A and B are shown apart, each in its own frame.
Chain A
Amino acid sequence: MQLFLFILRRLIYSIIVIIGLSLLIFLIARIVPGDPARMALGANAPQWLIEKYHEEMNLDKPIAVQYGLWLRGALRGEFGNSLYTKRKVIEDIGEFLPATVELVLFSGLIMGIGGVLLGMLSAKFNDSWVDNIIRVFSYMGVVTPSFVFAIIFMLIFGYLWPILPAMGRLSRGIAAPEPVTGMIVLDSLLKGNFPAFWNALKHMVMPAFTLALGGLSQEARITRSSIVDNISKDYVLSHQSYGIPGPSIWFRFLLKPSLIPTVSVFGLDFAVLFANAFLVEMVFNWPGLSRYGINVMLQKDLNAISAVILVLGVIFVVMNIIADIVISALDPRIRLGMAKGE
């Protein structure tokens, strides 16, 4: 019941955030200095084209009406046509989103597992050289922008010691499997097309790893400090004094409470992966939503820009809800507090 109330509160709250977000995006896109039509079509566009664009985008109506129309369209998934691809924006998103989702899922997997393992290792060998190396590594991970990692990895593993493909999702000459989910690794596995699966997986390694590093370092740092805090608590000492073996204490008693802060940061970091995908997809020529987003931004394609941002905003908000639910499942104290609205 408490969990239900908590989720309900969270949902209502998220809807408010998303509506606010849509208003924000709309306002940024409309109250731009200058005529959006001129910006999108170029300074030399003929007058009739500008007028047609105004009509299509409802730019001649009052701003509140414009927002209402835009929101109604957005709820139905109608964002108008893209000037960049000349197609419906929603079709573009349908085509490009799976590639980004696939990349982010793999990246999240690497981030979560890698971060927790490194954090555990660092805590286990607290203040030894292992710990120090991991700490330096995670500090670098936090201060390095992901596009820098992308370039360095590409140079090392793509060219200097070429063990991984550096560009795109599949090598030339390998046919993509029929789309089921649009995620090539998963699709090729579903169809039993193992050469394509292996090839797609290899293409995935570098971009996913690059994207994961920032969050991974953060997870490692947080897991480490959380375990180090908990390990000196009385309950661990009492378990030790009962003679319970070390690994058992770690996995049965220490890990669950220690992972609560990690999970909450993981939720945020996972959503941030969608943002950093903008930088990583550019370098690896990954045909995902983010690369599409950059292209439409450079083209000033307002319909597509607002759609991309709104989709990412919704994803971000949903991720946060999921993270909150998982945390509340792990930590009864938070569950109780949040249901009461604290």
Chain B
Amino acid sequence: MADLSIDTAVTRNRLKSLKERAGRSWYKFSRHSISVVGLGIVLLVIILAVFAPILTPYPEHAGAYVDLTYGSRAPSVEHLFGTDTYGRDILTRVVFAFKPALFTGVVVLAIVVPIGMVLGLFAGYYVGRPADTIIMRITDIFLGLPPLILALAVSAVLKPSLFNSMMAVSVAFWPWYSRLVYGMVSSLRNEFYVRSAEFVGESTLHILFREILPNCISPIFTKMTLDFGWVIILSASLSFVGLGEQPPAPSLGTMVAEGSRYLPNQWWEAVFPAMAIVIIVLGFNLLGDGVRDMLASEET
């Protein structure tokens, strides 16, 4: 009986401190109100992406749908963003395109971050040894080209599809993470707690993942939120040139490319998907800046 009450007291205390910490983080995050705007945009985009079939006026227009009687209509009350040449509602297609865009961001980061992190950890810990030289020289080669050209080069030889464009974007992004982690680890390895873990004979894996890695998490996390927008830009650029998601699947880059063929008369076909890209990326960048403020001040 007594034990139970102590337990609940402990849990209550933990909950309380968790609440306090969350509150403090939120305060730091929301000090710049623009970060909250970013968070709002991101949440809105996620909600729209998830509930696209319910929220959009013409969910059947998301795929291969043709109704030429409604082709190329200017924005109106029925079609807020107008219709494309096949008569599909552009608003619907823009909202449906949010999901692959977000999905790309998640998948690419899920591939790139662990790879870059592990390589950076090993190279940074064995700094000056062959492992460092090999890993970091390879990283440098990848950093030797702008990400867009690298991604284009990879997707150029693969069959154009959403999956392959994700792979192409991943090839362009991992070296940035291995370099980031490498930089942190090569200085952290001389810290006292790492030295003492080595001294008591902890395994290398324990030292890398339990001692060093937790201290690298917040810069990695900040970079992830900031990179989310770049990943979306890069994959939209690939589909813009025709090397990404193929029609009729809705994709923002493809829609802009198709629409730009009908400029200037049917301007809405390109302009609204283009604006959607800008808004998503803006949202993630503002959010990323907020996360950086939040985590940076936590350290000082």
Contacts and interface: CB of A to CB of B under 8 A. Distances in A.
B149 A312 contact: yes
A274 B147 CA distance: 11
Given A17-B140, A158-B264, A294-B242, A145 B156 contact: no
A151 B256 contact: yes
A174 interface: no
Contacts of B242: 294, 298
B271 A151 contact: yes
Given A145-B233, A278-B241, A282-B241, A317 B144 contact: yes
B162 interface: no
Tell me the interface secondary structure of chain A in the complex.
Answer: helix
Contacts of A274: 146, 149
A288 interface: no
B9 interface: no
Interface in A270-324: 271-272, 274-276, 278-279, 282-283, 293-294, 296-298, 300, 302, 305, 309, 312-313, 316-317
B153 interface: yes
Contacts of B148: 272, 275-276, 278-279
Contacts of A145: 233, 236-237, 240, 277-278, 281
B278 A21 contact: no
A327 B140 CA distance: 20
Interface in B126-146: 137-138, 140-142, 144-146
B256 A148 contact: yes
A117 interface: no
A275 B278 contact: no
B281 to A, nearest CB: 5
A287 B229 CA distance: 30
B278 A151 contact: no
Given A17-B144, A298-B242, A313-B149, A144 B278 contact: yes
B102 interface: no
Nearest to B234: A145
A201 interface: no
A148 B153 contact: no
Contact of A143 (B137, B138, B282): B282
Secondary structure of the B contact surface, majority rule: helix
A279 B141 contact: no
Contact of A298 (B233, B237, B243, B278): B243
Contacts of A154: 263-264
Which of A20, A33, A148, A272 has most chain B Cβ within 10 Å? A148
B146 A275 contact: yes
Contact of B157 (A28, A147, A152, A275): A28
B267 interface: yes
Interface string A54-72: 0000000000000000000
9 contacts: A39-B157, A139-B282, A147-B256, A148-B256, A152-B274, A275-B149, A276-B148, A278-B152, A305-B153
Given A154-B263, A278-B241, 10 more contacts: A21-B141, A145-B240, A147-B237, A272-B146, A279-B240, A294-B241, A300-B156, A305-B157, A312-B149, A316-B144
Interface of A: 16-18, 20-21, 24-25, 28-29, 32-33, 36, 39, 139-140, 142-145, 147-148, 151-152, 154-155, 158-160, 271-272, 274-276, 278-279, 282-283, 293-294, 296-298, 300, 302, 305, 309, 312-313, 316-317
Q: 8 closest Cβ contacts across the A-B interface?
A: A20-B141, A297-B156, A159-B264, A275-B146, A275-B148, A148-B274, A17-B144, A143-B281
